[in-house]
A = this chain, B = another copy of it.
């Protein structure tokens, strides 16, 4: 459709076209994962030839790195902003989620870009993502330390497990949001606030250690 063969689409400035490719590639990488996304697919979706993508970004990894740099900068900046506003504990978590919903309302797939297990574990792109992931995780750790410190927990392993869990909670809400496109950022914020409040004040029972009998299960 767009792009009759060799029409010479020079009218479109290169920078704009790069941004569009980046947007499409981010969506694809974030939706299907790095491994399952083909450069040809991205090019086709952008109405452009595969070769042109390579001339812009050098390689599949280069394209991926560009997407990650954009996504990582966006998210890390925003999370750092919330970190400075002085909230703490569970409230800080909710505020962080709210900020991310606001920023990602029209690019919900972006969160998954930084947490894609199919992405290569080394190479230049991996270093980019590792850097941003480290920043984000450091902020998460900060929040978790406050939260657990209030409960008298300072053990390193406890903290690292809780950080992992917090990131998993964010993952889950993002996944749910992607699966419910009609929900806007404000609705999500309210929902998350409501749910976390309900979780924090469990009305059912006290938490008790499970019976030791739980250990000898397994048929």
Contact = CB atoms under 8 A, between A and B. Distances in A.
A205 B150 CA distance: 10
Could you tell me the dominant secondary structure of chain A's interface residues?
helix
Each complex incorporates copies of this chain amounting to: 2
Given A102-B216, A201-B151, A218-B102, A158 B207 contact: no
A202 B168 contact: no
Interface string A185-219: 11001110111111111111111111000111111
Size range of the chain A interface in the assembly: 35 or more
A17 interface: no
A99 B173 contact: no
Given A150-B203, A172-B167, A207-B200, A214 B95 contact: yes
A36 interface: yes
Nearest to A104: B218
Interface stretch (A1-9, A45-53, A83-91): A83-91
Contacts of A218: 78, 102-103
A219 B151 CA distance: 36
Interface in A12-63: 33, 35-36
A89 B207 CA distance: 9
A148 B153 CA distance: 27
Interface of A: 33, 35-36, 77-78, 81, 87-91, 94-95, 98-99, 102-103, 117-118, 146-148, 150-151, 153, 157-158, 160-162, 164-165, 167-169, 171-173, 175-176, 180, 183, 185-186, 189-191, 193-210, 214-219
Ranked 6 nearest A-B pairs via Cβ: A89-B204, A168-B172, A150-B203, A151-B198, A98-B210, A165-B172
